[in-house]
Chains A and B, each alone.
Chain A
Amino acid sequence: MTRFFAIIRVTLIQLIGRRRSIGLLVLAAVPAGILLLVGLNVGDRETEEFFRTGALPLVLGVTVPIIAITLGAGSLGDERTHKTISYLALRPIRREVIAAAKLVAAWLASFLVAGSGAFLAAIVLGATVGSWDEMFAIMVATAITTLGFVAIMQVLGYITDRAVIIGLAYLLIWEGIVTGAASQVATTSIWRMGVSAYAGIVAGDHWGSALGLEARVVADLEDLLSGVNPGVWGAVVKVLGIAVVSVGALGVLMRDRDLVS
């Protein structure tokens, strides 16, 4: 376990101890800033509505994925780019263990950065509207969304130097356009897994009636879900499945492909 935690420790410093994390932190804070501006200019009800229809999709569908894409791609990608992969890989550690430790580190880094933005948005909502009930839901949704994106991006980052560009294109085309338009494939959308967890937590087993949700609010969330059923455990199982496949795939890639070019 020492090796596992050593990799996590160094990867965390590698990913968030750099200049790029400042830019990502600023990006993470954008939805909270917009929500604050809205909250200062409109009433509580409109602010709450904007949170669900504007800030939430901006957090889970834009800022969280962009942060997870950047840091996920860098977790093993940076090791290859900076040639330090030899220092890491030429050690008596199973490739899957390296991949798993890297995944946990990239997830933690992404959650720290993206989660701070989500947390800030929840605080703004609580401070302006007085509702603090949704903070837990949005943090869980952020954790789920970051894990899903990081797991995919880690593999991509290991394979190609253009992982971030490919990841952003994937976010725009598949996650943004295709799964939004075709409800049949919406269940594959990672950020909707986060929304599903969020909706599952705020509604519990009483979709539409828990926390006194009004029909209009349910309709807002249903728009975001694009046909995906709300439920935190379903979302957790899905992203854990993606994470396991990612670790397995990286194990195979690190064994069968050249570690350096």
Chain B
Amino acid sequence: MTSLSPAFVANPTIEITEISKWFGQKVAVSSVSCSFGPGITGLLGPNGAGKTTLLRMMAGLIRPSRGKLTVLDTNPRRDVTVFQRVGLVPEDDAVYGFLTGRQFVEYGAELAGVRNPSSAAAHAISAVGMGDAAERRIEGYSKGMRQRIKVAGALVNDPEVLYLDEPLNGADPVQRVRLIELFHQLAREGRTVVVSSHVLEEVEKMATRVIAMVDGRLAAAGDAAAIRAAFTDIPYRVRIDADVPRKLGSALLGQEVIRSVEVVDETLHVQTDDLGDLGRMLPSLARSLDIRLTMVQPEDLSLESVFRYLVHGQ
């Protein structure tokens, strides 16, 4: 028996094969193959990684330039009936500001052909904790409230597949906890939930399985713990300015927490496994060598660089 690649699941509801999307000369998604099944899968990657484009293709909003994609065994671009079983919370502020929250969700229910739109809307609004504000116009909502009403609009047709593009944007800590619990509950009910985010901690709280993307490609896939372990193995880069950089660099090389030292234009660039240890050790080392430190600054801590390390090892 052959084992399944981490990018694929045994009983997929969404299957993606060699899918690509380009806009003119720009390649947004390049030859991605993976699948999604019941439970929460996190789609992780820095801004511009292609997460939203992939999610939009899965939702049927945009057409793949190449490759095959099926949702619940259906091509969402060709058969609109699949939308009876699918919900999307887009990243954009895609709400009708002139409607009240209740009207917005009820409209979604009517469009989805739900039998009793009012009751379905009330249920979805209650699930996101927006009952008190439901009669107010959306244009007066905060970002977090808009986010929650979008979630209600996506849930109103009781979807089997739910796409969430940066769903916690703008939500306050209490709302975040509540939304995350809601997504967990949906996953426990056997739904396929795909959550896109550029924040690892956020994805970790929601997803058990993670698909990481960088530069439009699939960079890593697996359970959230494995991805986190890969992240913690990444060395940190620190820039150090001192009056005698080469002397300090030589001394740092002998330290256990230091992986490498480089001097560029009289500035030290140090790689370390532990920022905390370096921070504790560096002042005393400099003092003992009578070296004056003028700047110590972590660099290259962006998620982009972390992802690049995962993909390219640099």
B-facing residues in A76-100 (Cβ within 8 Å): 82-95
Interchain CB contact under 8 A, B98 and A89: no
Interchain CB contact under 8 A, A83 and B90: yes
| Nearest CB of A to B223, in Å | 29
Q: Tell me which residues across on chain B come within 8 A of A18, comparing CB atoms.
A: 98
Interchain CB contact under 8 A, A260 and B107: no
The tally of CB-CB contacts under 8 A between chains A and B is 84
Interchain CB contact under 8 A, B61 and A87: no
Instruction: Kindly supply a per-residue 1/0 record for chain A positions 2-13, scoring 1 wherever the CB is within 8 Å of any chain B CB and 0 otherwise.
Output: 110011001001
Which chain A residue lies CB-closest to B57? A258
Interchain CB contact under 8 A, A260 and B62: yes
Which chain A residue lies CB-closest to B93? A83
Interchain CB contact under 8 A, B99 and A13: yes
Q: Tell me which residues across on chain A come within 8 A of B295, comparing CB atoms.
A: none
| Contacts known (A92-B112, A260-B56); A86 close to B98, Cβ less than 8 A | no
Interchain CB contact under 8 A, A90 and B60: yes
Q: Tell me which residues across on chain A come within 8 A of B107, comparing CB atoms.
A: 6, 10
| Contacts known (A6-B111, A92-B84, A94-B80); A87 close to B62, Cβ less than 8 A | no
Which chain B residue lies CB-closest to A18? B98
Q: How many residues of B contact A (CB 8 A)?
A: 33
Q: Which of A3, A86, A92 contacts B61 (CB 8 A)?
A: A86
Q: Is B184 an interface residue (CB 8 A)?
A: no
Q: Is B308 an interface residue (CB 8 A)?
A: no
Q: Tell me which residues across on chain B come within 8 A of A259, comparing CB atoms.
A: 60-62
| Contacts known (A93-B80, A259-B61, A260-B61); A86 close to B94, Cβ less than 8 A | yes
Interchain CB contact under 8 A, B113 and A83: no
Interchain CB contact under 8 A, B90 and A91: no
- Bound-state Cα–Cα, A259 to B80, Å: 14
Residue of B81, B83, B107 ringed by the most chain A CB atoms within 10 A: B107
Q: Is B96 an interface residue (CB 8 A)?
A: yes
Q: Tell me which residues across on chain B come within 8 A of A6, comparing CB atoms.
A: 107, 110-111
Q: Which of B80, B87, B113 contacts A95 (CB 8 A)?
A: B80
Q: Is A255 an interface residue (CB 8 A)?
A: yes
| Nearest CB of B to A198, in Å | 35
Interchain CB contact under 8 A, A91 and B111: yes
Q: Is A17 an interface residue (CB 8 A)?
A: yes
Q: Which of A2, A14, A87, A94 contacts B94 (CB 8 A)?
A: A87
| Nearest CB of A to B62, in Å | 4
Interchain CB contact under 8 A, A88 and B111: yes
- Bound-state Cα–Cα, A91 to B77, Å: 12
- Bound-state Cα–Cα, A260 to B153, Å: 19
A-facing residues in B96-145 (Cβ within 8 Å): 96, 98-99, 107-108, 110-113
In addition to A84-B95, A87-B108, A258-B62, 4 A-B residue pairs with Cβ atoms within 8 Å of each other are A82-B93, A87-B95, A90-B86, A91-B108
Between A and B, 25 residue pairs with Cβ closer than 8 Å are: A3-B110, A10-B99, A10-B107, A13-B98, A13-B99, A14-B96, A18-B98, A82-B94, A83-B90, A83-B93, A83-B94, A86-B90, A86-B94, A87-B95, A87-B96, A87-B108, A87-B153, A90-B59, A90-B83, A90-B88, A91-B111, A92-B82, A92-B84, A93-B83, A94-B80
Residues of A within 8 A of B (CB): 2-3, 6-7, 10, 13-14, 17-18, 82-95, 255-261
The list of the 3 closest CB pairs from A to B, nearest first, reads A83-B92, A6-B110, A258-B62
